[in-house]
Amino acid sequence: METISTLKIEKRSNSKIGDVDFNNLPFGSVFTDHMFSCEYVNGQWQQSEIIPYGPIPMDPGAKVFHYGQAVFEGMKAFKDDNGKVFLFRPEDNWARINKSAARLAMPEFPKESFMEGLKELLKLDDAWIKSGEGNSLYIRPFVIATQSGVSASPSDRYKFIIILSPAQSYYAGEVNVVFAEKYSRAADGGVGFAKAAGNYAAQFYPTDLAKKEGYQQIIWTDASTHEFLEEAGTMNVFFRVGDKLLTAPTNDRILDGITRKSVIQLAKDAGIDVEVRQVSVKEIVAAAQAGELKEIFGVGTAAVVVPFKSFGYQDVNHKLNAPENSYGLKFKKMLNDIQYNRAEDKYGWRVVVK
């Protein structure tokens, strides 16, 4: 056992890495040797630790099981061709998990423990981070309510955990999307902006229905009128009409995506006209009919940038033929070049781990 400032480290005696086929990695299905863990008890976060990855003992009465008091983040680590490891805008993830936690009446986690714990965890499991285009290590920090009790009130005990999963692409095949006409993801004053676990569970049933119609994801519309386009499944969404880029403004229904804001910045730097405003279903359907809708793409940490092949609305499928100078692919390359340390990092988004 080793201790680094407030962090206790217990290493696994033998690595599982030899059992992993790194050429065949369905997203999020394999986890590394270690995890970070910290408990909140008596109104305080206790000593953080890095321990071998494994099951966590939980009381069946724990509030997370009954009331879904759980929030999470998605981040990635990248390795360049010289073996250097980087995070991408990690402080934004730290700030956002605390914003999500506050909305679910959960305690905030201190920045130093987050950054130190994460960096030490990555150093320990460095062999799991593969270099090369498309390879990354997906990082999943999460907080769960562990107090036993089925009274509907906030827990007084929590666990903050970080697990790591070597990743390649999120989607195995093409992605077609359908505009939501009946179900909703988030409402005014709700928790749509937070990475609350339940936001994702609530999408599973309507997404399963969409899959039966041949669509892999839903583009969620505003809950009250279904007239405005908001988020694409687990991603933020951009529309290219002519040479202009459109995306919805963030609000209490929409996640303040780190990839989203990076793409807006990169688009501006590339001299592309970006309009951050409400985007109506009507204008996108009209643009598609007029041949002016060039692209729709989703952006997020796990998926990076995903150009959609078609969108469905009112039982009509509109094909999207990828243009030669695809904005989506251009932003994907620009982001990857920064993330893999191949391009200048003007805004200091890259943070060195080792």
Q: Which residues lie near ligand COI (CB under 6 A)?
A: 74, 200, 234, 300-303
Closest C-alpha to 63, from 172, 157, 202: 157
Nearer residue to ligand COI within complex by CB, 37 or 301: 301
Nearer residue to ligand COI within complex by CB, 302 or 305: 302
Nearer residue to ligand COI within complex by CB, 201 or 352: 201
Closest C-alpha to 118, from 83, 84, 94: 94
Closest approach of Cβ 310 to ligand COI, in Å?
22
The rounded distance, in Å, linking the Cα atoms of 277 and 280 is: 9
Does an H or E element contain 94, and which?
A: helix 90-103
Nearer residue to ligand COI within complex by CB, 74 or 192: 74
Nearer residue to ligand COI within complex by CB, 147 or 328: 328
Closest approach of Cβ 230 to ligand COI, in Å?
15
Closest C-alpha to 253, from 225, 279, 278, 222: 222
β-pairing, 70-72 vs 48-52, is unpaired
Closest approach of Cβ 231 to ligand COI, in Å?
11
Give yes or no for a contact between 273 and 245, defined as CB atoms under 8 angstroms apart.
yes
Strands (DSSP E) along 99-234, which ranges? 136-145, 158-167, 176-179, 217-221, 229-232
Nearer residue to ligand COI within complex by CB, 88 or 313: 88
Closest approach of Cβ 302 to ligand COI, in Å?
3
What is the number of the residue whose Cβ is closest to ligand COI? 74
Give yes or no for a contact between 152 and 175, defined as CB atoms under 8 angstroms apart.
no
Closest approach of Cβ 118 to ligand COI, in Å?
15
Nearer residue to ligand COI within complex by CB, 266 or 303: 303
- Cα pseudo-dihedral 323, 325, 329, 334, rounded to 10: -170
Closest approach of Cβ 73 to ligand COI, in Å?
7
The rounded distance, in Å, linking the Cα atoms of 278 and 288 is: 17
The rounded distance, in Å, linking the Cα atoms of 288 and 281 is: 11
Specify the 3-state DSSP secondary structure of 169: coil
Nearer residue to ligand COI within complex by CB, 74 or 312: 74
Give yes or no for a contact between 195 and 96, defined as CB atoms under 8 angstroms apart.
yes
Closest approach of Cβ 336 to ligand COI, in Å?
15
β-pairing, 310-313 vs 304-307, is unpaired
Closest approach of Cβ 74 to ligand COI, in Å?
2
